[in-house]
């Protein structure tokens, strides 16, 4: 089995593991926000948490997406502190394209989402 065959997808409004993506473009800057738990909150406990989110951008005409951010979350209940798996990144570009987000749950594995912008 290939790793890509283990990546799961769904609608983030019905599945708490799918990273949501919002992208706004203004004055040559693409602002990307991605998080897990927009509609259905993810528990984010020591036993069950989102460990990381990676964000990619594939400009129009490009062959491959480019990783524009990689974010690890490490506070999962220590001293009553819990990380909210939400990230923002800004990319300078005049091109449109596709934004991808990939997240990892320590129990339920890899999840992805993509939007055009």
Q: Which of 38, 49, 105, 112 is catalytic?
A: 105
Which member of 17, 49, 54, 76 is catalytic? 17
Task: Give the side-chain half-sphere CA count within 13 A for 5.
Answer: 2
68 vs 9: CA distance, rounded Å: 21
Catalytic site residue from 22, 58, 95, 108: 108
Beta strands in the chain (DSSP E): 19-26, 29-36, 50-59, 66-72, 86-92, 97-105, 109-116
* 22 classed as catalytic: no
Catalytic site includes residue 95: no
Candidate list 39, 48, 88, 116, residue with the active-site label: 48
- Give catalytic status of residue 108 as yes or no: yes
The answer to whether 105 is a known catalytic residue is yes
Query: Is 17 designated active site?
Result: yes
Active site residue 117: no
Q: Is 42 a catalytic residue?
A: yes
Euclidean distance between CA atoms 42 and 24, whole angstroms = 25
Active site (catalytic) residues: 15-17, 42, 48, 105, 108
């Amino acid at each position: 089995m290939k790793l890509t065959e283990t990546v799961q997808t769904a609608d983030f409004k019905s599945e708490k593991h799918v990273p949501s993506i919002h992208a706004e473009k203004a004055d040559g800057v693409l602002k990307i926000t991605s998080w897990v738990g927009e509609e259905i909150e993810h528990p984010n406990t020591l036993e069950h948490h989102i460990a990381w989110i990676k964000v990619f951008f594939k400009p129009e005409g490009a062959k491959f997406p480019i990783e524009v951010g990689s974010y690890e979350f490490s506070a999962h209940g220590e001293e009553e502190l819990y990380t909210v798996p939400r990230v923002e990144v800004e990319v300078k570009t005049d091109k449109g394209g596709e934004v991808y987000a990939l997240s990892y749950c320590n129990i339920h594995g890899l999840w992805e989402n993509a939007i055009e912008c």
